[in-house]
Amino acid sequence: MIDLRSDTVTLPSEEMREAARDAEVGDDVYGDDPTVNELEARAAELVGKEAALFVPSGTMGNQIAARVHTDPGQEALVDTEAHVYKWEVGGFAELSNLQIRAFDAGDRAVPTLEQVREHAREESLHVAGTGLLCLENTHNARGGVAVPKADIDAAAEAAHELDIPVHLDGARVFNACVALDENPAAMVEHVDSVMFCLSKGLGAPVGSILAGSEAFVEQAVRVRKQFGGGMRQAGIIAAPGLVALDNVERLDDDHENARVLAEGLDAIEGLSVPTPDTNIVVVDSEGAGLTADEFVGLCDDVDVLGGPFGKYHTRFTTNLNVSRAEVKEAVERVAKAVETR
């Protein structure tokens, strides 16, 4: 089986398992877990923020950020394809009482300065006002686009001119940094908060980081507790996260494997596959007369796993558990399945 459904399917390395077994632990709700404390300190330093908070998932990190930054009834300005809008179960509305004001970021995956100014609304007697701009990098639904620092900076500057805080859903922000040869701290220096996942390309079994100012994180700790995310001897899962932080540079291997996969699949008659920026490969199977569900079914039959990403689009995601040889094998299997259907 070649599992390309997501980079979340990776298995913890032996080093991670040993780190979990040997981790020094305490009660994290009391701030007594030294391994969690070390992870948070290292993570904050890595992204150039004053403080960081270990959370069970990226979705929880995003939802905490929205709750801390906003007041009930305000609007959150987000891309129509944003993960926080499409895939987080209406959390902004349910958990923070926010309205969504959506814009179409297009292929560039981030709003222009003009778009921010156009869509942001000032509070008045009749209007709640915009309370948050949420950006995403890399942008999952737009094919793992790596958004350049300059574009993030421009959008953040426009929001800050209007006194609107900015949160970055950076679940795969290190993929963007590696692809663009950008320092992580520089990439996120102008956003007020950033979330990144330890459990995707970095390979940890669980957990994400939410980072920002000391005042922001102080409030985030309380909201995490409200959301049910207060953890006790969490060093057992934080320890693999510390190991994961050393996996940033190897993300380039996933990117190169994704390019090899895309090139191979694009050569199959009827399939159209753009060259990916990072580790997400999106296959358009309409030319082969196959819906995404049908195409995924054919791939399943030859033990290559992907996931529907639209009516005719399928997502494959390279990860540290899939080698270059397996990527090439996946192409051969898919080619045979499509050609002999």
The bridge status of strand 193-197 relative to strand 166-169 is parallel
Nearest to 28 by CA among 40, 17, 20, 42: 40
Token duo for residue 190? 């102008």
Report the residue count for the chain: 341
pLDDT digit of tens for each residue in the chain (341 aa)?
Answer: 999 999 999 999 999 999 999 999 999 999 999 999 999 999 999 999 999 999 999 999 999 999 999 999 999 999 999 999 999 999 999 999 999 999 999 999 999 999 999 999 999 999 999 999 999 999 999 999 999 999 999 999 999 999 999 999 999 999 999 999 999 999 999 999 999 999 999 999 999 999 999 999 999 999 999 999 999 999 999 999 999 999 999 999 999 999 999 999 999 999 999 999 999 999 999 999 999 999 999 999 999 999 999 999 999 999 999 999 999 999 999 999 999 98
Distance CA 240, CA 198 (A): 9
List Cβ<8 Å contacts ≥24 apart for 326-329. Answer: 326/2, 327/2, 327/257, 327/260, 327/261, 327/264, 328/260, 328/264, 329/2
pLDDT at 341: 86
Asked whether the beta carbons of 137 and 168 are under 8 A apart, the reply is: yes
How much is the pTM? 0.97
Residue 93 vs residues 55, 60, 105, 131: alpha-carbon distances, Å = 20, 14, 21, 13
Distance CA 5, CA 295 (A): 13
- DSSP codes of every residue in 57-97: -HHHHHHHHHHHH--TT-EEEEETT-HHHHSSTTHHHHHH-
pLDDT at 283: 98
pLDDT at 155: 97
Distance CA 117, CA 242 (A): 39
Give the number of other CB atoms < 10 A from CB of residue 118: 12
Distance CA 84, CA 289 (A): 32
